[in-house]
Amino acid sequence: MKILAIATPLDHSGRIDELMHAACAAAPEGAADIHLLLTGEHAANDGMCAAGARVYRLPNPMSGAISPDALLDIAQRACEILDPALLLLSADTLGLQLAPRLAVRTQAAYVSGCCGFERTASGRLDFVRPIYGGRALEVLESTAALTIATIKPKSFADSARRDYTANSTVETLAIAWPSPSSAITRMASDTPHGREGPDLENARVIVSGGRGLGNAGGYAELRRLAHVLDGAVGASRAAVDAGWIAASSQVGQTGTSVAPELYIAVGISGAVQHIAGMSASRNIIAINTDEEAPIFGFANVGVVADYRVIIPALISELAKKTA
């Protein structure tokens, strides 16, 4: 079974590692035939490559503004040359644009938001993805010659970063970029500039706020706490929709999926869409004045209190510990 992972220019090393972990999970035992195509200016020695994988670069990696249409042409040509049975892309903004369009072009099956694989007794590979806002898992069978799957962030995260390049070959895949067109949509980045502290997707600690903050001013306290914990600030969709914080901070099914060591949910009720994006967190602390809030059903520690009292007290205690 030949597996091809395509890393777009927006995929940082952590995302590419996840693609490789997913490829290893999908590969038959002892019969991995894994290929990785780097379309951007990625460093080939940054722990990206799976053991024995064949790594390909383009003659002219894409940099600067990114053209989804050009990437689509590149991906289609890569499928024609390499003829994979399974193609993996990150389930980010760009990957979710490319995958269904590529599936139509190549007459492939498409599985969105894949979070796991199951191999049957007969050796068939089945695909697992969350449904109903993460309340249940769906297992899908594909009989297509090519199946394209987008990988849900943090589903295949591996705590041990590995450098596999010693066992890998790096080749140039002779695919030329299509001629640029002024009508093509271009993307510069899905990462906001000027962010302080760690980025949301890779932060070990996240302090998130929701509608219960009352107004945008509540994020000042959350930022203070996140700074003390060397963490990132997140938000629920309700807070984003209210205009209190940028959409890039949204955690949830329609935002960023995260899996930090510690997730502090402040004034977040716990809608299933939000839970779907943070339920993989190792430790969850919920602070809410509503003792019936669904978030308490997922929290390791629940605090029924006003965050305006709890957060300053917590910051004060943490300051004493580090003094």
Question: Is the pLDDT reported for residue 50 higher than 80?
Answer: no
Q: Give percent above pLDDT 70 in the chain.
A: 84
In the prediction, which pLDDT does 162 show? Answer: 46
Question: Is the pLDDT reported for residue 127 higher than 90?
Answer: yes
Question: Is the pLDDT reported for residue 160 higher than 60?
Answer: no
Task: Indicate the average pLDDT of the chain.
Answer: 85
Close Cβ partners of 314 (under 8 Å, ≥ 6 residues apart): 225
The string of pLDDT tens digits covering residues 80-104 is: 999 999 999 999 888 999 999 999 9
Residues of CATH 3.40.50.1220 domain(s) within the chain? 200-322
3-state secondary structure (DSSP) of residue 175: coil
In this structure, how many other beta carbons lie within 10 angstroms of the beta carbon of residue 201? 21
In one-letter notation, the amino acid at residue 215 is N
pTM reported for the whole predicted model: 0.74
CATH fold for domain 2-172: Rossmann fold (3.40.50)
Task: Give the residues across from 285 on adjacent strands.
Answer: 264, 301
Task: Give the residues across from 265 on adjacent strands.
Answer: 208, 286
Average pLDDT over residues 227-237: 94
In the prediction, which pLDDT does 315 show? Answer: 94
Average pLDDT over residues 50-57: 74
In the prediction, which pLDDT does 82 show? Answer: 95
Give the start-end residues of each E strand in the chain. 2-7, 33-40, 54-62, 86-90, 109-114, 116-119, 125-131, 136-141, 147-151, 169-172, 205-209, 232-235, 262-266, 283-288, 301-304
Distance CA 48, CA 64 (A): 21
Average pLDDT over residues 251-271: 91
For 200-322, which CATH superfamily applies? TPP-binding domain (3.40.50.1220)
Residues of CATH 3.40.50.620 domain(s) within the chain? 2-172
Banded model confidence at residue 165, pLDDT cuts 50, 70, 90 = very low
Mind giving me the DSSP string for 236-284?
A: -HHHHHTTSS-GGGBBSTTSB----SEEEEES----HHHHHHHTT-SEE
In the prediction, which pLDDT does 234 show? Answer: 96
Least Cα distance to 264 among 278, 247, 248 occurs for 278
Distance CA 151, CA 188 (A): 22
- φ, ψ for residue 170 (rounded to 5)? -120, 120
